[in-house]
């Protein structure tokens, strides 16, 4: 059997396409943020991570254009060698200061940040303790570490009892990294940073948060989950992406200067990959400036999500309680999920459909997410379509609340 035969045999996506339900790789032809153009018509975007709506903000656009004019389109090299421009250093300094940490290091994507930080910090014989629902970039870091002799211990999603049971059995003196999404990317629930911090301190572990979905949304001024819990100084490391609130692409990690210096000289994801482009870095600097000048944006995104969350719960949909920009609507079945997705799309609303195996059976869902720039009439329209969906395919029982 040839290696590539499995590709020919893979027909699940073709089957779904032939049934007319395929919700993936849909092209956006123009974007104004909360409204995009798809297949020649305006569609309300309720599936983006553009949480503050800054990808089209005039200050951010202008900064990106000016950077291209000054530096060209690419740095054509890694940060380590020819790929550092003054904008990289400027953004690192600004992010470290904003996050209240000694130093910052940029990576070219959020994915590389997770993969690159974890696989560099944890050595053979040491331990990674990782929430089972952590993002794929963290899992990539774990897998790379495991291949180098690191012990990977996965604990039940947000079960502090399970984490404590497992970590308490490890040698106290051994190096340990507890890593978790701050806000989990699929269901939007928030990590128990207070308990994680207590366990880290008790068992001699370092704590790393991935604040991809909480930067700009939670915490004082949008500083993320550690700040939300008043634990900015306690959490050792925070990593994040530019691809959500910061309206760009790239990633960063902040922490103590000695740790960042170590990563800077040891992380292969940094050293062997070209640096974020000038326009991406300039856009992220400008987006950070907008966030700092307009802290009310973070309240707007949370309020918009809250309006939808309450509205959908009122309609009887299975929507967990929460405070992030992500509002998952659990449909519980592949076919119903596609039907609901199609009804939304046909009515001019775009959301993300997650089916098995991406979600556990019974948890197939529509991941909806909101922007500070959604207006009431957008949100009302979304609720109106969901009401029609409820009438057609029914709604389930609300699950137990998640914080």
Ligand X SMILES: Cc1ncc(COP(=O)(O)O)c(C=O)c1O
Q: Quick one: which segment of 80-88, 121-129, 206-214, 255-263 binds ligand X (CB under 6 A)?
A: 206-214
Question: Closest approach of Cβ 47 to ligand X, in Å?
Answer: 12
Q: Which long-range contacts (CB under 8 A, 24 or more apart) does 87-93 make?
A: 87/278, 87/281, 87/282, 87/285, 88/275, 88/276, 88/281, 90/285, 91/252, 91/281, 91/284, 91/285, 91/288, 92/252
Closest residue (Cβ) to ligand X? 110
Distance separating the N- and C-terminal Cα atoms of the chain: 49
Contacts with ligand X, 239-278, as mask; x by CB under 6 A: --x-x-----x-x---------------------------
Residue closer to ligand X (CB basis): 210 or 236:
210
DSSP class of residue 308 equals: H
> And the tokens for 75?
């740095």
Window 273-332: residues binding ligand X (CB under 6 A): none
Tell me which of 57, 79, 135, 309 binds ligand X, using CB under 6 A.
135
Q: Which residue has the tokens 């340990």?
A: 176
- In the chain, count H helices and then E strands: 15, 14
Q: Quick one: which segment of 117-125, 208-216, 283-291, 370-378 binds ligand X (CB under 6 A)?
A: 208-216
Question: Closest approach of Cβ 390 to ligand X, in Å?
Answer: 28
Task: Decide: is 131 part of the binding site for ligand X (CB under 6 A).
Answer: no
Task: Decide: is 224 part of the binding site for ligand X (CB under 6 A).
Answer: no
Task: Decide: is 34 part of the binding site for ligand X (CB under 6 A).
Answer: no
Judged by CB under 6 A, the number of residues near ligand X is 15
Contact 138/187 with Cβ under 8 angstroms?
no
DSSP class of residue 183 equals: B
Residue closer to ligand X (CB basis): 115 or 379:
115
Exposed/middle/buried for residue 320 (C-beta within 10 Å: 0-12, 13-18, 19+): buried
> And the tokens for 282?
């300039």
Contacts with ligand X, 105-124, as mask; x by CB under 6 A: ----xxx--x----------
Binding site for ligand X (CB under 6 A): 109-111, 114, 135, 137, 181, 185, 210, 212-213, 241, 243, 249, 251
């Amino acid at each position: 059997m040839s290696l590539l035969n499995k590709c020919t045999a893979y027909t699940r996506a073709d089957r779904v396409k032939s049934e007319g339900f395929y919700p993936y790789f849909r092209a956006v032809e123009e974007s104004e943020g909360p409204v995009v153009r798809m297949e020649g018509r305006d569609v309300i975007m309720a599936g983006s991570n553009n949480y503050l709506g800054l990808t089209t903000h005039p200050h951010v656009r202008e900064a990106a254009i000016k950077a291209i004019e000054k530096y060209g389109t690419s740095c054509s090299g890694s940060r380590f060698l020819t790929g550092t421009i003054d904008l990289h250093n400027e953004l690192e300094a600004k992010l470290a200061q904003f996050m209240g940490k000694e130093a910052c290091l940029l990576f070219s994507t959020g994915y590389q940040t997770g993969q690159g930080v974890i696989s560099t910090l944890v050595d053979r014989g040491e331990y990674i303790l990782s929430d089972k629902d952590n993002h794929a970039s963290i899992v990539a870091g774990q897998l790379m570490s495991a291949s180098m002799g690191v012990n990977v211990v996965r604990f039940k999603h947000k079960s502090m009892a399970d984490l404590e049971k497992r970590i308490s059995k490890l040698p106290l003196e051994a190096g340990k990294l507890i890593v978790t999404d701050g806000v989990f990317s699929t269901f939007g629930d928030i990590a128990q940073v207070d308990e994680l911090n207590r366990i880290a301190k008790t068992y001699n572990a370092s704590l790393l948060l991935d604040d991809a979905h909480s930067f700009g949304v939670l915490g004082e001024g949008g500083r993320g989950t550690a700040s939300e819990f008043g634990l900015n100084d306690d959490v050792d490391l925070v990593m994040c992406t530019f691809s959500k609130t910061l309206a760009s692409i790239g990633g960063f990690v902040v922490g103590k200067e000695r740790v960042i210096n170590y990563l800077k000289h040891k992380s292969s994801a940094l050293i062997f990959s070209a640096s974020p482009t000038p326009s991406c870095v300039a856009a992220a600097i400008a987006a950070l400036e907008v966030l700092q000048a307009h802290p009310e944006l973070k309240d707007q995104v949370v309020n918009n999500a809250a309006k939808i969350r309450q509205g959908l719960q009122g309609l009887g949909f299975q929507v967990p309680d929460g405070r992030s920009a992500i509002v998952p609507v659990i449909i519980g079945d592949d076919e119903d999920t596609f039907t609901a997705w199609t009804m939304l799309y046909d009515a001019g609303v775009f959301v993300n459909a997650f089916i098995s195996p991406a979600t556990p059976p019974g948890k197939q869902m529509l991941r909806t997410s909101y922007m500070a720039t959604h207006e009431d009439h957008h949100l009302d329209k979304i609720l109106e379509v969901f009401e029609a969906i409820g009438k057609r395919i029914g709604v389930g029982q609300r699950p137990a609340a998640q914080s």
